Chains A and B, each alone.
Chain A
């Protein structure tokens, strides 16, 4: 009897592993099919290469430039004020490294790498979603076949950012602080806001300390007594510091990634004013919200989901996500939709919330798959809210 139970349990475990691996794979295929159909509806040129090129919009061109030519020194060639320094190096470096082994067009290599990263991000999300199959299916559908799946399957930093964010939080969930630190270091070399994840690490350490019966006051001493925790904290921003050093040695300005924002016309201001300006940009014709309205709504929805995370005692993830929204919001609403949907803890929370009932789960799944087509058409057409 016991042996039968073990066999049955092993078989169901194997089935579960297969399902966990197959679900995102299914959405990789369906996502490719839907986005390709959207591409084919607006383009006369057939083929995967043309599809990959068509989906390479906005910042994608910058990452191709970095991957193929690296960063410029100063003065920037062609009498340009805008350099590539604002775009962080890890993902273009990774694509360049893979291109050495597979010498195809950069955008092809990047597209496949992005799909692999997003697929891997789904697998890492499985334990983070507490093995909730419904939420997992929805999350995979969102990343790989959802309305913003082009962000996760072209040459943008989102696929790697989502993967590394998930790795950090999985490591923290398992109290593997060194693994979290190394993932954080990579995250901080992927996008500037990645450095904020160190706060989630410290919060998790504090939580563990309190669970062990330690007081808040004794926390610093506890951390100082644990060299592994110190290493985890100090290694977290290492990717950012490595990039700062690189910029100092090549451009002479370690903070060039911040200073270059001037050439992109970004001006610091009051985030509340930017939000209000965005919401006030009412459409002149029709009823569909304008691009600034979508961006403002995305920021508000992101902050609201951060509050939900905090309410569910996921303080580290809540703080990380809120900072990742507020920092870019200080300059304006540009790319806000992409920044919000690229925050894995938020989209996981959304998947969990939408999976509460079968009906809402099914409705969300159908909506995700259907919207994928139209949003891809909008992305290829250069719709500003999706930048």
Chain B
């Protein structure tokens, strides 16, 4: 019913009430808009969802691991591999686990170390001509540890010593894979779907020194 149809004595009150309601609605919406433009979220959320600076949404996953043990990223090792995959991986296929996006991470709990560690990864490049190689930069606990260029569909064994700086009193090891040549499924596809490598196995060995 339009305001003009209210009986005269109530028209002014109704009109004032209408203005008050409109003001409350407009004010509330402005406040909510201000809240929406200033999200109260952690750095991981912001980086993945808002700033889009990473394709790998960090999670608090830490897998248990025994040094010297080889973790399979094929179907047969799916359960243990799942516990150490933080982000940037798809589910295991028959011959390994594909990376997803521009970065992948693994995280494992490690025992106190006397000496260093050697990491051994078996991985293959994802190839779609003209892209026939994949450059991968591997960092451990934020310290650059190794860079490798993979080519060919056959898995390759990559071994490197983890820099001591990355291990200083660390009880967990976070291994990040940054892919420089990821292949999107279509030109318009999101970068979260880029494919770069297929990880087949992962192993850490303590360096023995006498």
Contacts and interface: CB of A to CB of B under 8 A. Distances in A.
Interface of A: 74-75, 79, 81, 178, 226-228, 230-231, 233-235, 237-238, 241, 244-245, 248, 251-256, 259-260, 262-263, 265-267, 269, 273-274, 277, 332
Contact of A248 (B18, B36, B50): B36
Nearest to B100: A81
Nearest to B192: A265
Nearest to B191: A267
Interface size range of chain B in the complex: 35 or more
A254 B29 contact: no
B169 to A, nearest CB: 27
Given A262-B48, A265-B192, A267-B189, 15 more contacts: A79-B59, A79-B87, A81-B48, A81-B87, A227-B3, A231-B22, A231-B25, A234-B25, A234-B26, A245-B35, A252-B40, A253-B40, A254-B39, A262-B192, A277-B188
B41 A266 contact: no
A260 B61 CA distance: 21
A243 to B, nearest CB: 10
Contacts of B21: 227, 231
Contacts, number: 102
Nearest to A232: B22
7 pairs of A and B residues whose beta carbons are closest in the complex: A227-B18, A254-B36, A230-B22, A234-B25, A259-B49, A253-B39, A265-B190
Given A227-B19, A228-B18, A252 B45 contact: yes
A267 B50 CA distance: 13
A326 B193 CA distance: 25
Nearest to A332: B188
A83 to B, nearest CB: 9
Contacts of A263: 48-49, 57, 192
Given A228-B3, A269-B188, A277-B188, A234 B29 contact: yes
A244 B61 CA distance: 30
A233 B28 CA distance: 14
Interface string B44-87: 01001110100001011100000000000000000000000001
B9 interface: no
A4 B22 CA distance: 51
A241 B3 contact: no
Nearest to A238: B25
Interface of B: 1-3, 14-19, 21-22, 25-26, 28-29, 32-33, 35-36, 39-42, 45, 48-50, 52, 57, 59-61, 87, 188-190, 192-193
A267 B192 CA distance: 10
Given A245-B35, A267-B188, A251 B41 contact: yes
B45 A227 contact: no
Nearest to A255: B36
A234 B26 CA distance: 6
A262 B3 CA distance: 46
A296 B33 CA distance: 34
| Chain B residues touching A, majority SS | helix
A178 B18 CA distance: 11
B75 to A, nearest CB: 19
B26 A244 contact: no
Contact of A81 (B2, B39, B57, B188): B57
Contact of A74 (B41, B61, B193): B41
Given A265-B189, A266-B190, A267-B189, A248 B49 contact: no
Given A79-B61, A241-B29, A265-B190, A254 B35 contact: yes
Contacts of B33: 241, 244
A244 B32 contact: yes
Contacts of A230: 18-19, 22
A235 B33 CA distance: 15
A173 B50 CA distance: 41
Contacts of B22: 227, 230-231, 233-234
Contacts of B39: 248, 252-255
B54 to A, nearest CB: 11
Contacts of B193: 265
A249 B107 CA distance: 31
A108 B190 CA distance: 36
Contacts of A244: 32-33, 35-36
Nearest to A273: B188
A339 B33 CA distance: 26
Contact of B190 (A238, A254, A267): A267
Given A262-B48, A267-B188, A277-B188, A248 B28 contact: no
Contacts of A178: 1
Nearest to B16: A227
B17 to A, nearest CB: 8
Contacts of B57: 81, 263
Contacts of A267: 188-190
Contacts of A233: 22
A74 B43 CA distance: 12
18 contacts: A74-B45, A79-B59, A228-B2, A228-B18, A234-B25, A234-B26, A234-B29, A235-B25, A244-B33, A248-B35, A248-B40, A255-B36, A262-B49, A262-B192, A263-B57, A267-B189, A267-B190, A277-B188
A274 B17 CA distance: 48
B32 A248 contact: yes
A185 to B, nearest CB: 10
Nearest to A227: B18
Nearest to A175: B2
